[in-house]
Chain A
Amino acid sequence: MNAIVISAVLGVVMMFCGVFTNSKTAVRTVAIIGLLGLVVSNVLDMGGYHFFEKVNVRGMLSFDIIGLLFNTIAFGSTWIYFLLSGRDMERVGVNLAEYFALIFFVLCGIAIVSSFNSLLMLFLGIEIISIPLYILTGSDKRNLKSNEAALKYFLMGSFSTGIMLMGITLIYGVKGSFDMEVIRQGTLNLTPMIAAGLLLLLFAMSFKVSAVPFHFWTPDAYDGAPTVFTSFMATIVKVAGFIAFIRLFEGCFGDVKGQWQLLAAIITAATLFIGNITAVFQQSVKRMLSYSSIAQAGFMLFALVAMNNMAKEGMIFYAAAYSLATIGIFAVLLKMKDYTFEGFNGLAKRQPVLAATNTVFLLSLAGIPATAGFWAKFYMLSAAVEDGNVLWLVIVGVLCAAISVYYYFRVIQAMYFKDGDPQEIETSRSFKGLLIVIAAVVILLGIFPHWLLNQLYSFFYL
């Protein structure tokens, strides 16, 4: 609860901040400090200090440890994102304070979807996340591509929201309640109405997390949006979609998993396959990263298919590993002027720190041991093996992971093994320092994954 209230308040504060001051540094500082406060308040929530205990949510929200830990990861990643890329937001347009405000509203939506207990809340959360994102995508007003992306994203997004509403309606029609507990009880067979509702919800959520075949908006929206916002959309927002997805399907349809598991598995396999194959053919690193985000979504869908304890741990870990690595890569990408693979040629000579940290992030995305990404994939694969019904999916996943090495390593090859004339890049000392810290975190999590996962079982236990 702490997070929902405070993030909404902070959003309003940021809006007014733009009225009172014109100094970009001041705005940025307020945002960074505010977000740090948000992180701390959420951590306190995990530790049992609830600031708003008196608020009666009438069972529509429930704050369990998975949701709260996920909030911490999402807010923490956003904080790192502010530190790394806050300066680059200034270059998008004049309304810096509003961008920060919109991001805080998105975070509020994230806090809702990680704790909803009622389909109404799910709908509300998803909308609170989506609407600010439409604006952020089109925030580069004079750029045609940005406009196109925003329009496309908006149309597709509202369409999928409509589908979701339809699904919720059908289920409400059968059960007479929005409450997930009520929906779950007595649902041992998929009657036609519930099955239709389930299908519509499955499609709508697949839209939101850009699973194949509902992914067509993703590359265009990610490519057209200002890069600094793509970084946010492709990481924190996307992972939040998964948390909602899994919470919804576990809460409502967990007992009838056997009847929709195969469908989910097929979507997963298609996502892995299309995402990875298409990423191979990209010439621009930014576009490659958007397809890679689809491919990684395929791995996160393993959690939906398996839906056991290991899958949940894996989801949490995936959220952290994927967000950290991708934010890091985008932060480096933002400094480049040429987004093609050739633009990275010879970067290692000019900017050894950027190249080395970027390599760590790419290795993590590829899932090489001793990086966080390895455990993310390990948990997902383990969850699916433990489930036992979808071994074919595990094999597909593994082969796709091998394909992903191809396009991630192309960047490494460009940076280290090819000679080129890289552009002059201006980076500050603190930027490099921060990148090193993130890379160190990625490696440490890769060696001691339980530092993060044990938080699920006890507060601040290493």
Chain B
Amino acid sequence: MIPVLLIVIPLVSGLLAFLIKQEKSAKVWALLTSLVTMVVTILGIAVLHKPEYLQTNVPWLPNLGSSFSVTMDGMSKLLCLLTGIAYPGILIATWNTSYKNAHQFFALMLLMQTGLMGVFVASDALLFYFFWELALIPAYFLCSIWGGERRIAVTFKFFIYTFVGSLLMLIGIIWVYFHTTDHSFAMSSFYKVNLPGNTQGWLFWLFFLAFAIKIPLFPFHTWQPDTYEQSPTAVTMVLSGIMVKMGVFGILRWLAPVLPVGLWGWGDTAATLCVVGMLYASFVAMQQDDLKRLIAYSSIAHMGLMGLAIFVTSAVGIQGVMVQMFNHGINIIGLWIVVELIERQFGTRKMSELGGLAQKAPSLSIMLVVVSLANVALPLTNAFIGEFMMFNGVFGSKSSNYHYIFTVVGGISIILSAIYTLNMIQKVLYGNTSSLTANARDIRFNEKFVLAVLLIGIVVMGVYPKPMIEATRHAVDAIYSKMFIKLP
């Protein structure tokens, strides 16, 4: 019941939003319905524990053995919670930005939420693919209509990249489907399939490419910085905070338990790509002057770490990934909010044109410092625990031959991330004020409110991460045991 609501509420409200012509009311409508979604999510996680509330299974395509089946397990809950909380936050934080044809903008945003929720709750491979693609279409229109100057070419690249990946995954899904014993797309049937090692080896790549493009892992990342830069910031927040998690989620849900032998076989190769990407992205991030591009590259580095922790397969690492998926989402949305505030006020995102904000806008500065430090995983912030667990997992991994090298190189990229982040703080907040920032004012109440909530969240989850670890432990065990049933 709850997962169905999570899909239906944004879908219906998104379609209705097309009919609301006034900008203000469309905005209010979007905020209200996203709040409703959030409440439903929290209800599903905290109050209605019984499995019958969290599961629905309706026949959809009986001939094909596919059903509309949705469940919320530990991992889904976490990501639904992220989606549910992030949406109102994003809408409030960008409340003062105005869009032409606002009703269409908000309608597409809500439709995108439908796709995201669907991906996270689907427990049928075909349904998963359906939502996976559906999340992409609104994103394409959002970026192409409301984006920056080079939006059309950039978004097109993004779309084609991800589309190629998804189609390859579709072939993989169909292949596995024909090898299920009961010809079914259900997750449980997929988990039971035990394919020979070399088949899993090439199937791994079909799935891996789709997820690697989405995450994005080096060398499939080239769409990402451009798209983040050109998209309207509200969309960038959804893309980087939630949508890229679809890739990590996909690996954990559909790749690792279905094709573990393929994952073990190619794990070191994939992990090498992740590590190279982390290092590469960190070096590129150090060269950036544009705040959005800097954060985009930093995001590639951090997502690379999540990939690494998965591909060396250790329980602690995967647990860390789950925790980090949520926390990275929160932190990066926080960063984007700050960037949006800076850009709206000064009309620039170039660090060389900013400076001295600490004197003029103290609240903004505090927020920027905290989310930036969370981004580099300073202890006491939420990202610390996740990154610590991931490194722990990588270091102690038994299935990788190169885990020491991976740990060392990964560690270097974290140091680099501290360098470019602190450098960014220094350039934006300290030094002399420029002509642009001389008359800076501090942020408004709604912006303060969202950021304060984020800030409290960051600290609370940093100091007391136990509930989140508890909530996902089950999911990690489930994935892990599924993987080891198929030991060759």
Taking Cβ atoms with an 8 Å cutoff, the residues of A that contact B are 363, 368-370, 374, 378, 381-382, 385-386, 394-395, 398-399, 401-402, 405-406, 409, 413, 416-418, 449-450, 453-454
- Please report the C-alpha to C-alpha distance between residue A453 and residue B178 in the assembled complex, in whole angstroms: 20
B130, A369: Cβ atoms closer than 8 Å: yes
A399, B164: Cβ atoms closer than 8 Å: yes
State whether the Cβ of B156 lies closer than 8 Å to any Cβ in chain A.
yes
Known contacts A363-B137, A370-B133, A398-B167; can you find 15 more A-B pairs with CB under 8 A?
A369-B130, A381-B174, A382-B174, A386-B178, A395-B168, A399-B164, A402-B160, A402-B163, A405-B159, A406-B156, A406-B160, A409-B156, A416-B144, A449-B61, A450-B63
Give the secondary structure class of B's interface.
helix
Residues of B with C-beta under 8 A to A417? 144-145, 151-152
State whether the Cβ of B62 lies closer than 8 Å to any Cβ in chain A.
yes
Taking Cβ atoms with an 8 Å cutoff, the residues of B that contact A are 61-63, 129-130, 133-134, 137, 141, 144-145, 151-152, 156, 159-160, 163-164, 167-168, 170-171, 174-175, 177-178
B170, A381: Cβ atoms closer than 8 Å: yes
A370, B156: Cβ atoms closer than 8 Å: no
- Please report the C-alpha to C-alpha distance between residue A329 and residue B145 in the assembled complex, in whole angstroms: 22
User: Can you name 25 A-B residue pairings with CB atoms under 8 Å?
Assistant: A368-B133, A369-B129, A369-B133, A374-B133, A378-B174, A381-B170, A381-B171, A382-B177, A382-B178, A385-B174, A395-B168, A395-B171, A398-B164, A399-B164, A402-B164, A405-B160, A406-B156, A406-B160, A409-B156, A413-B156, A417-B145, A418-B152, A449-B61, A450-B62, A450-B63
Residues of B with C-beta under 8 A to A370? 130, 133-134
- Please report the C-alpha to C-alpha distance between residue A449 and residue B66 in the assembled complex, in whole angstroms: 12
Distance from B276 Cβ to chain A, minimum over Cβ atoms (Å) = 25
A394, B171: Cβ atoms closer than 8 Å: yes
Distance from A403 Cβ to chain B, minimum over Cβ atoms (Å) = 9
A413, B144: Cβ atoms closer than 8 Å: yes
Q: Lowest 6 A-B CB distances belong to which pairs?
A: A398-B167, A369-B133, A402-B164, A385-B174, A369-B130, A417-B144
| CB-nearest residue of chain A to B177 | A382
Of the candidates B61, B163, B168, the one whose C-beta lies within 8 Å of that of A405 is: B163
A450, B61: Cβ atoms closer than 8 Å: yes
* Residue among B137, B145, B174 with most chain A CB within 10 A: B174
B63, A453: Cβ atoms closer than 8 Å: yes
Residues of A with C-beta under 8 A to B152? 413, 417-418
Distance from B348 Cβ to chain A, minimum over Cβ atoms (Å) = 25
Residues of B with C-beta under 8 A to A368? 133, 137
- Please report the C-alpha to C-alpha distance between residue A369 and residue B125 in the assembled complex, in whole angstroms: 13
Distance from A375 Cβ to chain B, minimum over Cβ atoms (Å) = 9
Residues of A with C-beta under 8 A to B177? 382
* Residue among A374, A382, A413 with most chain B CB within 10 A: A382
B159, A409: Cβ atoms closer than 8 Å: yes
Residues of A with C-beta under 8 A to B178? 382, 385-386
- Please report the C-alpha to C-alpha distance between residue A375 and residue B86 in the assembled complex, in whole angstroms: 33
Give the secondary structure class of A's interface.
helix
Distance from B163 Cβ to chain A, minimum over Cβ atoms (Å) = 6
- Please report the C-alpha to C-alpha distance between residue A453 and residue B63 in the assembled complex, in whole angstroms: 9
Residues of A with C-beta under 8 A to B170? 378, 381, 398
| CB-nearest residue of chain B to A457 | B63
A369, B134: Cβ atoms closer than 8 Å: yes
Distance from B152 Cβ to chain A, minimum over Cβ atoms (Å) = 5
- Please report the C-alpha to C-alpha distance between residue A398 and residue B173 in the assembled complex, in whole angstroms: 13
A398, B171: Cβ atoms closer than 8 Å: yes
A416, B145: Cβ atoms closer than 8 Å: yes
| CB-nearest residue of chain B to A382 | B174
Distance from B113 Cβ to chain A, minimum over Cβ atoms (Å) = 16
Distance from B210 Cβ to chain A, minimum over Cβ atoms (Å) = 11
Residues of A with C-beta under 8 A to B63? 450, 453-454
B167, A402: Cβ atoms closer than 8 Å: yes
Distance from B69 Cβ to chain A, minimum over Cβ atoms (Å) = 16
Residues of A with C-beta under 8 A to B141? 416
* Residue among A395, A398, A399 with most chain B CB within 10 A: A398
Residues of A with C-beta under 8 A to B144? 413, 416-417
Distance from A315 Cβ to chain B, minimum over Cβ atoms (Å) = 15
Distance from B272 Cβ to chain A, minimum over Cβ atoms (Å) = 24
- Please report the C-alpha to C-alpha distance between residue A385 and residue B168 in the assembled complex, in whole angstroms: 12
* Residue among B134, B144, B170 with most chain A CB within 10 A: B170
Distance from B99 Cβ to chain A, minimum over Cβ atoms (Å) = 15
* Residue among A369, A395, A402 with most chain B CB within 10 A: A369
Distance from B306 Cβ to chain A, minimum over Cβ atoms (Å) = 26
Residues of B with C-beta under 8 A to A374? 133
Distance from A308 Cβ to chain B, minimum over Cβ atoms (Å) = 11
Residues of A with C-beta under 8 A to B160? 402, 405-406
- Please report the C-alpha to C-alpha distance between residue A402 and residue B164 in the assembled complex, in whole angstroms: 6
- Please report the C-alpha to C-alpha distance between residue A369 and residue B135 in the assembled complex, in whole angstroms: 10
Residues of A with C-beta under 8 A to B159? 405, 409
| CB-nearest residue of chain B to A399 | B164
- Please report the C-alpha to C-alpha distance between residue A374 and residue B174 in the assembled complex, in whole angstroms: 14
| CB-nearest residue of chain B to A410 | B156
Residues of A with C-beta under 8 A to B168? 395, 398
- Please report the C-alpha to C-alpha distance between residue A363 and residue B138 in the assembled complex, in whole angstroms: 12
B167, A401: Cβ atoms closer than 8 Å: yes
Distance from A357 Cβ to chain B, minimum over Cβ atoms (Å) = 14
| CB-nearest residue of chain B to A413 | B152
Residues of A with C-beta under 8 A to B133? 368-370, 374
- Please report the C-alpha to C-alpha distance between residue A454 and residue B151 in the assembled complex, in whole angstroms: 43
Residues of B with C-beta under 8 A to A369? 129-130, 133-134
Residues of B with C-beta under 8 A to A385? 171, 174-175, 178
Distance from B148 Cβ to chain A, minimum over Cβ atoms (Å) = 12
Distance from B101 Cβ to chain A, minimum over Cβ atoms (Å) = 10
Residues of B with C-beta under 8 A to A394? 171
- Please report the C-alpha to C-alpha distance between residue A382 and residue B160 in the assembled complex, in whole angstroms: 22
Distance from B156 Cβ to chain A, minimum over Cβ atoms (Å) = 7
- Please report the C-alpha to C-alpha distance between residue A382 and residue B167 in the assembled complex, in whole angstroms: 12
Residues of A with C-beta under 8 A to B174? 378, 381-382, 385
Distance from A18 Cβ to chain B, minimum over Cβ atoms (Å) = 46
Distance from A57 Cβ to chain B, minimum over Cβ atoms (Å) = 32
